[in-house]
Structure 1
Amino acid sequence: MSSVRQDAVRERIETELLAPLSALELDVEAVEITPAGKRRILRIAVDKDGGVTLDDVADATREISRVLDESDAMGEQPYTLEVTSRGVDRPLVLPRHWRRNVDRLVKVTTTDGETVEGRIVSSDETAAGIDVSGTIREIAYADVGRALVQVEFNRPGSKEA
């Protein structure tokens, strides 16, 4: 499948899933189609405020299967559907990603190459406040080249800490 056609299929699937998943209070974060022999793997990542539970993934899987069964978006070639949560390895790109990760440690590389690591303390539609060693630094999303949540095993404020 050409990359242009694959992009069109991804966009169509995302569009078709928008309303049904919104009804479940879920956002589509990513749609990936990967060849796997004679089949394809359709991987869809979902997220919501407060995080995604296993029940949310199960509900999303049922709804996505229903929508795709009624659609011809995936064509005739067989595929395997995988529904997952967004995961910490995905970059923070949208304001909702920042909002959902307040209190998490983040590593930001700005568009001018500077690296900043700190805890997200606030976010709005245009910028996030990051606590860098006790100083709050406001970083506009337009100035972010890449931002990733850092994995913490003993996060302050967590039950295990």
Structure 2
Amino acid sequence: MPGQRQRAGGAGEKLEPVVADAVARAGFELEELAVQQAGRKQLVKVVVDATGDGENSVGLDEIADVSRAVSNALDASDDVFSGAYTLEVTSPGLDRPLTKPRHWRRARLRKVAVKQADTKFLARVGDAADDGVELLVDGQLRRVAYADVEHAVIEVEFSEPPAAEIAKLTHEEEGSR
């Protein structure tokens, strides 16, 4: 599937196992690691996400916990990474591309913009499996394989989604679930 975890080059490649382990021990998943020179220091940017498919998210307290864990791991890894650094730990923003099944599961019932090879469309997310997702496109349910999605992001909505769309995606019309 396209869009697996973004890997850091250079110093980041050596750091990735150290940082990923610290993030995992704190109970989260490393989404992205980037290391770049920023004056005399290096900027270490760590993007973390909650593990699993649940509705949980990464809050400020959790970011602080991960930041301490990563900082301690970096300080203890002088053989891999030394010198002054600035650590930035964050969670993915709303504009993060949907690249993994768990991203799609968390986006259930949300509106998304999807780009495939030769088409773009807006859809509402239904059930997501390991290989694809059910989308409501122009009132019709459509099964889309993740491999066929070039890019997808959540669209911000300022009002409640239409009840009829939610009913179709939750199969309320059929009386199931």
Q: TM-score, normalised by structure 2?
A: 0.75
Corresponding residue of 1:75: 82
Equivalence for 1:39? 41
Task: Please say if residues 132 and 145 of structure 2, whose CA atoms lie closer than 8 Å, have aligned partners that are also in contact.
Answer: yes
Q: State the partner residue of 2:9.
A: 7
**Per-residue deviation at 1:89?**
2.0
Please name the residue that 2:175 is paired with.
Answer: none
Q: Which residue number in structure 2 is paired with residue 62 of structure 1?
A: 68
Task: Count how many residue pairs are aligned between Structure 1 and Structure 2.
Answer: 150
Query: Structure 1 stretches (4+) deviating beyond 6 angstroms?
Result: none
Corresponding residue for 1:141?
146
- Taking the aligned partners of 1:129 and 1:84, their CA distance within structure 2 comes to 30
Unaligned runs of 5+ in 1: 1-5
Structure 2 CA distance for partners of 1:153 and 1:32, relative to 1, 3 Å: farther
- SS of equivalent to 2:65: helix
What CA distance in whole angstroms lies between the structure 1 residues aligned with 2:68 and 2:160?
34
Question: Structure 2 counterpart of 1:96, which letter?
Answer: R
**Cα–Cα, structure 1 residues 41 and 64, in superposed 2: closer, same or farther, change >3 Å?**
same
CA displacement at 1:20 relative to structure 2: 3.2
Superposed CA deviations along residues 66-107 of structure 1, whole A, max 9, x for unmatched, are 11111133333x221010011122212122222222222211
Q: Secondary structure at the match of 1:93?
A: coil
Identical-residue share of aligned pairs (%): 35
| Correspondence for 1:100 | 106
Offset from partner CA, 1:111-132 (integer Å, 9 cap, x none): x221121121111211111122
How far did 1:60 drift?
0.6
Please report the RMSD computed on the Cα atoms of aligned residues, expressed in angstroms: 2.0
